[in-house]
Amino acid sequence: MPTLINRPTVVEAEGNLPMMVEEYVGRVTSDTSAVSIARVLSPAGRVETVKTPEYDEYSVVLMGTLRVETRDGAVDARTGQAVIVRKGKWVRYSTPELSEYIAVCLPAFTPRLMHRGRE
């Protein structure tokens, strides 16, 4: 039998401005550890705390711009584009304009695997 997710769970996120993260599939909403899928709505000027996660993160930009900075450089993923950040990479996400994107993490996101603030 398929599992229906009636509504996402809102997850808190660190950064200079609040943003809305709605987890549809993952450890919190569906007790799924293999993958997490979330919709993110982030305001203009938001900058996340740096992290070095133990998961691959795939982001598909639905609206706006998602800036992704790593030690190797930065890219701006715009509406209709996607960006991949591999696990173990130092990364900082920001949104220079109001942006909406889908974030997929393998394995599923958990704060324990995120490692925030590691410069």
pLDDT of residue 118: 55
Residues 6 or more apart in contact with residue 99 via CB below 8 angstroms: 40, 41, 42, 44, 61, 63, 64, 65, 66
Please tell me the pTM assigned to this model.
Answer: 0.93
pLDDT of residue 119: 56
Q: What one-letter code names the amino acid at 23?
A: E
Regions of the chain where pLDDT drops below 50: none
What residue ranges define each of the domains in the chain, with the CATH number in brackets? 9-102 (2.60.120.10)
